[in-house]
Structure 1
Amino acid sequence: MSDISVVIPTYNRLWSLPQAVESCRSESCDVEIIVVDDGSTDGTWEWLRAQTGIVAIRTENWGKDWAVQTAMAAARGDYVRFLDSDDWLAPTANGEQLALARRTGADIVVAGYEDHDDATGARQVHEWVDCDDFIAQQLGEVWSSHYSAFLFRRDFIRDIPHRQDFGLRDDRLFILEVALRNPRIEVYRRPGFVHRQHGAERLQRTAGFRRDLGHWTYIAIFRKVLGMLEARGELTLRRKRAAIAVMWPNVRTFAKTYPSEAAEIVDWIHRLDPDFKPPVRPVLAGAYKLLGFAATEKLLRLRTLWR
């Protein structure tokens, strides 16, 4: 057994992986570093095999979610955290978050994080924002940080998978499923990890159909979670409005390509909150009311194409 298992899925990121791995090591606790190379072709596997103190696993490029699930099956730590291979942990985060978890019995130790811009060297700290409703927070009521900054009790999350069906937004669904279990939470008041801004490929950067699929996936996650809350009698107006505020920009963007499908989501939003007023200019709100959402969005698209 280890104190902490750090799960690092990676694909063709040998340029950043060594720093991510090194950041996991700690003098104050026993850290198990699990790196799953998801079929890299840049020498990642050869580098991993030459390292010591790493649990290295090779998979056949089935994607991040399967890589994470493979690592979780091998994990032996009392606690676990997830780290992308182009980011790195804050120097004291593992030891200090572990100490806080053990002292309080927390299921999750949450934290803010730090952004690092490779191009300029600029750094910006995003501190944790306190909220008295963790579910509403993760639905978008206030800023909810990034789950790589969190330390999770492994027994609490062991049967919550990273779901490939929602691969473009898998971490959002994961943390919402965690929130639905009403975890005991403690706050670490320093950054938990450093999120690297760079120009290389990233799963979140999409275009064309994948961009539209990303917006649809986000909406589908919120519909599913709100449905679960409703079935449990826990879908408060506060939680509805938090989710709607996050979904609305995704719906508008999705409507540029799929206006009829987006209109169905708008109808559902109005059923959720009959008092919902679209945060748009009055003339556009009037057009929605007069012509309907789909027809208005189609006209807007035609106007854009003819400019």
Structure 2
Amino acid sequence: MLKNNSLISVIVPVYNTKAYFGKCIKTIIDQSYKNLEIILIDDGSTDGTSAKCDEWSQKDARIKVFHLQNGGVSKARNFALEQCHGEWVSFVDSDDWLALDMYEILLALADKFEADTACCGAWQGNEENYTVRNIWRRFKEDEVCYNNGSALGNVIEQSGTLWNKLLKRELIGCIRFDEKIRYAEDTLFLSEYLLKANCVAVTKKPLYYYRINRLGNVVSGGLNSRHLDYLYATALIFDILRENGSVDVGVERVVDVGIRVAALMNKTNKQKCYMDAIRQLAKKAMPYRTELIKNNRSAKQYFKKFILTQMYYGNFLFVCCSKIVNRIK
């Protein structure tokens, strides 16, 4: 039984997801927990999604719709944060969908641990075929609570996304998304938020359905300018982690991001700007490379230490290793 009936502000940026948006919003309005404020931010959609937002607002009084000129997901979320009134805030991607008891379970979890943040597990795939997304892999229990300064490193290491979390609006305060960054802006926002969190409660139960390989999704596309944003955001996240006692997590993130971006590269001269950005990122992490094996001396961590060195020099071996590692994954 929940201790309170707190209002949850559910923020959904929407851009050209007409084919998926109906399922997303239906699973929000049909939640077993009813005290919701649903904020739809139409970011200048051109595929008919805008009209769908207005249609849904006529069906449910809890839905508020705002139409903006296209400015990106960060601008849309920042605008929504100025409009919301809930004690809790949830960010949902408009092509995903939720288990119908997600908010009820997350609020009960927050009550149980007296937490200011609640997180859940997730599925990934599509309507016909989905599997559990292996995110909360660092603990064996079904539930855990990170506190006393342990939240930042533990949460970012395992789940740097926003969509599977309930955040306290009071803690968000003046934190806003960097509107210049179009990739990993959510992890940067979350990193800044977690610096203020006292207790983060986590359940492994998968309650969020994350759609993968959607046509038009930046994450599933090839190398593009947004990956420069990805590298830049990772540098900022690394600084936050290093300055707040989680440099080991930061170094590993640098290596993992470098591998993901390098795996998309080819031999053309157009890739030089990406390699330069990768080398700058590696330069930040190199003085702390021994942190990769400080607490875990497995072959995998030694290999990551080797990869970081190759990443620093930006040689062809690094690109080859990245392509191999990415293919194995």
- Which TM-score applies when normalising by structure 1? 0.79
Q: What is residue 263 of structure 1 aligned with on the other side?
A: 279
Which runs of 5 or more residues in structure 2 are unaligned? Answer: 140-145, 293-300, 321-329
CA contact (8 A) 1:116 1:197 kept: yes
The 3 A distance-change label for structure 1 pair 29 and 224 is same
Q: Give 2:59's aligned residue.
A: 52
Q: Does 1:157 align with 2:157?
A: no
Match of 1:13 among 8, 14, 17: 17
* Bigger Rg, structure 1 or 2: 1
Are the counterparts in 1 of residues 248 and 291 from structure 2 also a CA contact under 8 Å? no
Of 217, 233, 237 in structure 2, the residue corresponding to residue 225 of structure 1 is 237
Q: Is the 8 A contact 1:5 1:79 kept in 2?
A: yes
Distance, in Å, in 1 between the alignment partners of 2:213 and 2:35 is 31
Equivalence for 1:304: none
Aligned residue for 2:253? 243
Which of residues 78, 83, 86 is equivalent to 1:74? 83
What is the match of residue 135 of structure 1?
152
The verdict on how the C-alpha distance between 1:265 and 1:253 changes in structure 2, with shifts beyond 3 A counting, is farther
Asked if 1:86 corresponds to 2:95, the answer is: yes
CA contact (8 A) 2:255 2:308 kept: no
Given the alignment, which residue of 179, 187, 206 partners 1:172? 187
1:11 offset after TM fit, Å? 1.1
Residue 187 (structure 1) shift: 1.7
How far is 1:104 from its partner?
3.4
1:9 and 1:37 in contact (8 A); partners too: yes
* 2:118 pairs with 1:112: no
Superimposed CA distance per residue, residues 25-45 of structure 1 (whole angstroms, 9 cap, x where no aligned partner): 234331111111111122222
Structure 1 residues 260 and 65, CA gap change in structure 2 (3 angstroms): closer
Match of 1:279 among 303, 306, 310: 303
Percent identity, aligned pairs only? 21
Q: 1:3 to 1:188 in 2, by over 3 A?
A: farther
Conservation of the 8 A alpha-carbon contact between 1:263 and 1:293:
yes
Kept in 1: contact 2:116–2:200 (CA 8 A)? yes
Provide the C-alpha distance between the structure 2 equivalents of 1:116 and 1:254, rounded to a whole number of angstroms.
22
For residues 209 and 126 of structure 1, the distance between their equivalents in structure 2, rounded to whole angstroms, comes to 25
Among candidates 171, 181, 188, match of residue 196 of structure 2? 181
Distance 1:298 1:89 in 2: 39
- Decide whether aligned partners of structure 1 residues 4 and 250 sit closer, same or farther in structure 2, where only a CA change above 3 A counts: same
TM-score normalised by L of structure 2: 0.74
Tell me, yes or no, if the aligned pair for 2:222 and 2:264 is still in contact at 8 Å.
no
**DSSP 3-state at the match of 2:215:** coil
Deviation at 1:122, TM superposition (A): 1.6
Q: Which segments of 5 or more consecutive residues in structure 1 lack a partner in the other structure?
A: 301-307
* Contact 2:24-2:95 at 8 Å conserved across structures: yes
